[in-house]
Structure 1
Amino acid sequence: MNTIATPPHGQLSMDQCWTLLDTEVVGRVALIVDGHPEIFPVNFVLERRAIVFRSAGGTKLWGAVTAKPAAFEIDGYDVHEQMAWSVVARGEIELIESLAEKQAVDALLLEPWQPGDKDYYVRLSPKALTGRRFKVNKPDLWTTRLSDPRRASFE
Structure 2
Amino acid sequence: MNSTEKPDDKLTFDECWELLADDALGRIAVVVDGHPEIFPVNYVLHRRNIVFRTAGGTKLWGAVTERPAALEIDGYDPRTEMAWSVVVRGDTAVIQDQEEKDAVDDLNLEPWQPGAKDHYVQLTAHALTGRRFKVAKPDIWNTRLSDRRRASFE
CA RMSD of aligned residues (A): 1.6
Quick check: 1:14–1:130 contact (8 Å CA) kept in 2?
yes
- Structure 2 stretches lacking a partner, 5+ long: none
Residue 51 of structure 1 corresponds to which residue in structure 2?
A: 50
- Structure 1 stretches lacking a partner, 5+ long: none
Q: 1:65 deviation in Å?
A: 2.6
Residue 93 of structure 1 corresponds to which residue in structure 2?
A: 92
Q: 1:64 deviation in Å?
A: 2.8
Hey, which bits of structure 1, 4+ residues long, moved more than 4 A?
none
Deviations 1:55-109, CA, capped at 9 Å, x for gaps: 0011221123335311110001011110010000001111111110000000000
Change (3 A) 1:44 1:144: same
What percent of counterpart residues are identical? 65
Residues in 2 aligned to 1:71 and 1:64: alpha-carbon distance in whole angstroms: 12
- Aligned pair count reads 153
Residue 154 of structure 1 corresponds to which residue in structure 2?
A: 153
1:68 maps to a residue whose letter is R
Residues in 2 aligned to 1:36 and 1:63: alpha-carbon distance in whole angstroms: 12
SS of 1:10's equivalent in the other structure is strand
Residue 83 of structure 2 corresponds to which residue in structure 1?
A: 84
2:65 maps to a residue whose letter is T
TM-score by length of 2: 0.94
Q: How does 1:46-125 map to 2 (within 5 A)?
A: 46-66=45-65, 68-125=67-124
TM-score by length of 1: 0.93
Change (3 A) 1:50 1:141: same
